[in-house]
Amino acid sequence: MPITKAAKKALRQNKRRRIKNLQKDKKLKDLLKEIRILIVEKKIDEAKKLLPQVYKTLDKAAKTNLIKKNTATRKKSRIAKFLAKYSK
């Protein structure tokens, strides 16, 4: 357990940040899963409407170091490629 006042504050901050990061991570995973399901079910219009939201969430996650920048770029690329493949 922390002893100094600063260490106690750091622990409180870490707990709050962890909760926020878990929520953001869950939202990101849910969005990616949802768009994949829409694409497979041939609901291309709905998937295209959801795509900007997915991009925004990935970019924000990369900006706040929840995921790495290249990981976000890779996920965006793969989702776009997946969408293009099924929209033919």
User: Which one-letter DSSP state was computed for residue 65?
Assistant: T
Rounded Cα distance, 20 and 63, in Å = 14
Local confidence band at 87 (pLDDT 50, 70, 90 cut-offs): confident
The pTM of this model reads 0.85
The pLDDT value given to residue 72: 97
User: Which distant-in-sequence residues (6+ apart) come within 8 Å of 32 by Cβ?
Assistant: 54, 75, 79
Q: Who's near 62: CB < 8 A, 6+ residues apart?
A: 68, 69, 71, 72, 73
* pLDDT value, residue 31: 96
Q: Give the pLDDT confidence of 14-58 residue by residue, as tens digits.
A: 999 999 999 999 999 999 999 999 999 999 999 999 999 999 999
Cα separations in angstroms, 9 against 2, 15, 20, 51: 9, 10, 17, 39
Mean pLDDT over residues 61-80, rounded?
96
